[in-house]
Amino acid sequence: MTDIIKIAVMGAAGRMGRMLVAEIIARDECILSGASDVENSPYLGEDAGILAGCCNIDIKLTADSAHIIAKSDVIIDFTTPKSTIAHAKLAAQAGAAHIIGTTGLNNDDEEMLNIAARHITIVYAPNFSIGVTVLMELTKRLAATLDEDWDIEILEMHHRNKVDAPSGTALALGKAAATGRKTDHDSKRQSTRDGNTGARKAGDIGYATLRGGDVVGEHSVIFASDAERIELSHKATGRQIFSRGAVRAAIWAKTQSHGIYNMADVLGLND
């Protein structure tokens, strides 16, 4: 019989944290070994299962991350960059795998992760959705196949409260296209068109952004040539796509050798 994997959730009172706890409770291969949040969280001492909208599981939310990391096989972390780096050091000391969904890490932070990954398995992904990861890979492969006669445009739509544009995922899709086409993304990026723009430059990677309503996230990558067009699209209708992917990554990470991986590795797309 395979061992049940002990997974702790950092930031368990947060939006993603609660969904991660619910996902772990729902799966047979793993159990929740701990749930942490910040010192001043009003939820400390509350049951993590109840907070996640499930049942009482007798795991209280604590601020003692070090303690719960020490008794876990894997930790999942959707918190803040500063906290994530602190958790990576604790995970490296404890020998726990670290699944990182936190965004906004800078180059120095990522260097710290590379150092921690000498001692543990890390999976670090800006988007844990299985569908988006596959979309990214298809985009790269298509861009590698089609030449510059095929214009690449990326269209995204998000809810009215999103403050940055294009979305991080849209930019990652553009970078995947640039990698496939063996071109430099930043010099080909065209994300503002307004007024008399002139004709489209060959090789540009264009972006268009829509904002409105409560749209969770929609991305299309369009390859347009003369008389034909290919469109790859992904539509997210709930944030559980991220928690589902992150827990899958946690279960996968338990059996991997030390190093830093991404979601494409988890799905076997880099094999």
* Residue found under tokens 């710290």: 112
Q: How far is the CB of 234 from ligand NAD (least distance, A)?
A: 13
Judged by CB under 6 A, does residue 15 bind ligand NAD? yes
Judged by CB under 6 A, does residue 177 bind ligand NAD? no
Judged by CB under 6 A, does residue 13 bind ligand NAD? yes
Q: Provide φ and ψ at 235, rounded to 5°.
A: -125, 125
Q: Report the distance separating Cα 167 and Cα 157, nearest Å.
A: 9
Q: Which of 60, 67, 162, 175 is catalytic?
A: 162
In DSSP terms, 9 is beta-bridged to: 35, 76
Q: CB of 77 within 8 A of CB of 87? A: yes
Is 162 tagged catalytic? yes
Give one DSSP letter per residue of 219-270, joined into a string: EEEEEEETTEEEEEEEEE--THHHHHHHHHHHHHHTTSPSEEE-HHHHTTTT
Number of residues that bind ligand NAD (CB under 6 A): 25
- Residue 50 exposed, middle or buried by CB count within 10 Å (0-12, 13-18, 19+): middle
Q: Between residue 126 and residue 165, which ones bind ligand NAD under the rule CB under 6 A?
A: 126-128
Q: Report the distance separating Cα 174 and Cα 200, nearest Å.
A: 16
Q: Between residue 212 and residue 251, which ones bind ligand NAD under the rule CB under 6 A?
A: 242
Q: Between residue 100 and residue 119, which ones bind ligand NAD under the rule CB under 6 A?
A: 101-104
Please identify the residue of the shown chain whose CB is closest to the bound ligand NAD. 14
Q: Which of 98, 158, 188, 234 is catalytic?
A: 158
Q: How far is the CB of 175 from ligand NAD (least distance, A)?
A: 16
What amino acid positions are annotated as catalytic residues? 158, 162
User: Binding residues for ligand NAD, per CB under 6 A?
Assistant: 10-11, 13-17, 36-38, 41, 65, 78-80, 83, 101-104, 125-128, 242
